[in-house]
Amino acid sequence: MRIHILLIALLAASQPVKGDPPKPAESTPTGHARPTFSWDRVPQYMHIRKAKKFTDAEIKYLATFPLVAFEKTTGHTAFQSTEDGTIAAAKAVKEVNPSTKILYYRNVIVHYGTYKANPEIEKMPGAFLVGRNEKTKLVRNVCEAYDLTNPQVRDWWVGHAKQICSNPAIDGLFLDGNIKVLSPGYLKRDIGDEKKAAQFAGYETMMAETRKALGPDKIMLANVLRIGQSKDDGLEEIKRFDGSYIEGFEIAGSPEQKKDNVARGMVAFQKAARAGFIVAFTAGLSELNAEEGDLNPQSTDEIRKGLSEKDNHSKRFEYLLALFLTCAEKHSYFLAHDGYGAERSKVWMKPNPDLQRPLGEPKGPAVQNGYIYTREFAHAKVRLDIENEVGEISWK
């Protein structure tokens, strides 16, 4: 009955969320391992990768964030592996600010290179999914996908995560690729219904084993909140973790569907945040690339065009910030970016001045009128129009 009520609430995405915030679920983390949080300024998150060593200036910049996820390939050319590169960067940040929480990137299904743990699984029989015509590179025709029905694969994955997270400089895992397992249609044509169901069952087992291996003091932040990828947009799945990263917020099958998808995604964001989960909201400053990325809501990947230094993205930034502030609660964090590679980013280490303005606590939840949302903070008033993609923030 409770799940049925939740589904009804999600389908009514265009209606305001009323009443007091729900009490945290029994599975909600206690919070002792969480990042620091303050409403003094816009609470921020950083998600980044750099194949070479971070400079001293970059390390000092990273140390200003309460929560940092180091993406795959971090430091692999300077330190010969992602593991060693991530640990080196984490140690450097911790020397500047011990309170910054550092997350190590692992994909739950996609087999990426640059990891020194890879040779072990690459020699393992039956480690990767095999599709039609014996095809093995099932992810974008480039990467192999782990066969999570294989207990040896799960043991390898969990053991590796435990080993890296045992380092004092690493505060937990950033788990990516969850949507690829959770999405009912992803890879089903290649592997069939029975294997798809077994893959999901293996994933559930692996997530439970990972939590047990890491213990309660390590953060598990997963990519699970996403509209259309499950019946409840990830609100049940997030209970396995300490919170969720959010991307793909605006993917839609057509422009007409976009505003409703965003409204529905905001409901999931609000519910998860009010239930006490960490929400790391990330969104791109450039346009979606319709030629390279699938704009269908069932797509699991969001691909955006590159951002030019000549592009004026101030309106886009204000819209994204207004959207975040409309939904944010304690332990919600914001990142507007143009990709996660430090080498190519046009906004890396160039924070928008609005992020340094005094914000203050919210005076209450957002008020919704159709596709218009308003919310007031101690030092700012927010107006969000998701139909016209306009955000307005009046700073006091």
Q: What is the pLDDT of residue 187?
A: 95
For 61-77, the pLDDT digits (tens) are 999 999 999 999 999 99
What are the φ/ψ torsions at residue 317 (nearest 5 degrees)? -60, -45
Amino acid present at 34: R
CATH number at residue 131: 3.20.20.70
**Does residue 120 form part of some domain?**
yes
Q: Averaged over 194-209, what is the pLDDT?
A: 98
- Give percent above pLDDT 70 in the chain: 85
338/304 Cα distance (integer angstroms)? 8
Say if residues 384 and 373 touch (Cβ distance below 8 Å). Answer: yes
**Does residue 392 form part of some domain?**
no
Residue with the larger pLDDT of the pair 18 and 192: 192
**Distances in whole angstroms, Cα of residue 23 to Cα of each of 76, 216, 265, 271:** 43, 20, 20, 10
Q: Any idea what the Cα angle at residue 98 is, between residues 97 and 103, rounded to 5°?
A: 100
67/49 Cα distance (integer angstroms)? 14
Residue 35's region, left for phi above 0, alpha for psi from -120 to 50, else beta, is beta
- Among candidate residues 202, 237, 205, 203, the one with its CA nearest the CA of residue 222: 237
Say if residues 244 and 278 touch (Cβ distance below 8 Å). Answer: yes
**Does residue 11 form part of some domain?**
no
Q: Which of 156-165, 281-290, 326-335, 366-375 has the lowest mean pLDDT?
A: 281-290
At 292, is the pLDDT very low, low, confident or very high (cuts 50, 70, 90)? Answer: very low
Per DSSP, the residues of 123-186 read TSTT-B---GGG----BTTTB-BB-TT-HHHHHHHHHHHHHHHTSTT--EEEEE-HHHHHSTTT
**Does residue 161 form part of some domain?**
yes
At 250, is the pLDDT very low, low, confident or very high (cuts 50, 70, 90)? Answer: confident
Collapsing DSSP to helix, strand or coil, 368 comes out as strand
**Does residue 274 form part of some domain?**
yes
At 297, is the pLDDT very low, low, confident or very high (cuts 50, 70, 90)? Answer: very low
Structure tokens, 224: 């699970």
Q: What is the pLDDT of residue 306?
A: 60
* Domain hosting residue 175, numbered range: 32-361
* Count: domains in the chain: 1
Q: Averaged over 41-58, what is the pLDDT?
A: 98
**Does residue 252 form part of some domain?**
yes
**Does residue 310 form part of some domain?**
yes
**Does residue 183 form part of some domain?**
yes
